[in-house]
Amino acid sequence: MKLELIRNFDDRIVGYKLIKEESDDTASFEAIRDMHFFGVNDNVIKYHGRTSDITDATTELKFATKAHCKIELDKINSPII
């Protein structure tokens, strides 16, 4: 699967689209669609960080449900016993 940026007439980035390249991408596409369009409350998708290489160039962008982000944040903020 690949990602393509959508630009307006002023060449400003206004969105993106995912393009299916393999037949086995179907399940992933449907899961992504469901999280974006049907996610409510704790199932809303939000930005969840990035990974970079040694030059600080971004190599991954991460998105997760609001509930998952909260669980991960709670793990980081919980006291070590």
- Express each pLDDT in 5-60 by its tens digit: 999 999 999 888 888 888 888 888 888 888 888 877 777 888 888 899 999 888 88
Give residue 6's pLDDT: 92
pLDDT digits (tens, 9 = 90+) for 28-39: 888 888 888 887
CA 13 to CA 7: how far, in whole Å? 4
Element holding 69 (H helix, E strand): helix 66-77
Give residue 81's pLDDT: 62
Q: What is the pTM of this model?
A: 0.63
